């Protein structure tokens, strides 16, 4: 009977000791850090505050990456490189009726001339009417070619005359300005794609691109009213 009481008591004692685990490490005289290390390694680091940016060298600047829009905007300031006449001849302005009917006195002969590579406003085909820019084109030509003014010209050596008999020329009102390019640059004409073989075409194509990017002339947001509709509403 006595053995039956002792054995369960011993079993209960051993079970209590196992649950209690090892005795804690004495902390008398230990620092707070030593006490924390005695409990085992940290399981995770706690980061407070915002992360710091990577150090930047003094004077370093960030280089922006250009977008298509910024590239287009940068191109707006460009101007086609001036073209000089290779074998210029002198002429005098006789009559300028409009941007398509220009008469020059060359030697002793008055010649009706055609500006090489330019599609005049009245023959420009757009998705909307552009005929109202014809007056602007006429004024620009008349301003650059006042009656009696001396100009330099260059006759097309390959096709000197067009099918209407006009003399095909490049006209320089001044040394650094080719009228054939200037009209296109102001949006008052287009580069004639059928004349890609002329030496002015590249400059005229670039001028047209600049006029389009800057909304000049026929490339502007202005709309020409249909004359019949406008007259009917008066």
In a domain, 17, yes or no: no
Mean pLDDT value across the chain: 76
pTM of the complete model: 0.63
- Considering only residues 197 and 222, tell me which one the structure prediction assigns the higher pLDDT: 197
State residue 128's pLDDT score: 83
> For residue 178, what are the domain limits?
89-228
Q: Into how many domains does the chain fold?
A: 1
pLDDT band at 222 (very low <50, low <70, confident <90, very high): confident
In a domain, 4, yes or no: no
Q: Are 136 and 122 in contact (CB under 8 A)?
A: no
In a domain, 14, yes or no: no
In a domain, 213, yes or no: yes
From CA 73, how far away is CA 137, in angstroms rounded?
26
- Considering only residues 12 and 132, tell me which one the structure prediction assigns the higher pLDDT: 132
User: Which CATH number belongs to the domain containing residue 197 in this structure?
Assistant: 2.40.50.90
Q: Which of 16-30, 75-89, 140-154 has the highest mean pLDDT?
A: 140-154
State residue 87's pLDDT score: 86
pLDDT band at 166 (very low <50, low <70, confident <90, very high): very high
């Amino acid at each position: 009977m006595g053995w039956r009481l002792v054995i369960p008591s011993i079993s209960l004692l051993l079970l209590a000791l196992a649950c209690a685990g090892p005795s804690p490490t004495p902390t008398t005289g230990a620092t707070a850090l030593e006490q924390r290390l005695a409990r085992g390694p940290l399981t995770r680091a706690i980061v407070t505050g915002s992360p710091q940016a990577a150090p930047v060298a003094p004077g370093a600047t960030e280089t922006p990456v250009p977008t298509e829009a910024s590239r287009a905007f940068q191109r707006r300031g460009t101007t086609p490189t001036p073209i000089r006449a290779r074998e210029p001849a002198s002429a005098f302005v006789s009559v300028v009726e409009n941007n398509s009917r220009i008469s020059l006195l060359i030697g002793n002969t008055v010649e009706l001339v055609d500006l090489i590579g330019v599609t005049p406003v009245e023959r420009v085909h757009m998705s909307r009417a552009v005929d109202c820019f014809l007056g602007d084109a006429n004024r620009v030509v008349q301003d650059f070619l006042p009656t009696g003014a001396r100009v330099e010209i260059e006759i097309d050596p390959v096709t000197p005359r067009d099918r209407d008999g006009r003399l095909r020329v490049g006209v320089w009102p001044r040394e650094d300005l080719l009228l054939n390019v200037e009209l296109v640059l102001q949006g008052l004409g287009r580069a004639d794609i059928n004349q890609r073989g002329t030496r002015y075409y590249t400059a005229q194509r670039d001028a047209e691109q600049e006029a389009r990017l800057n909304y000049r002339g026929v490339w502007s947001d202005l709309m020409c009213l249909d004359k019949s509709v406008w007259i009917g509403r008066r």
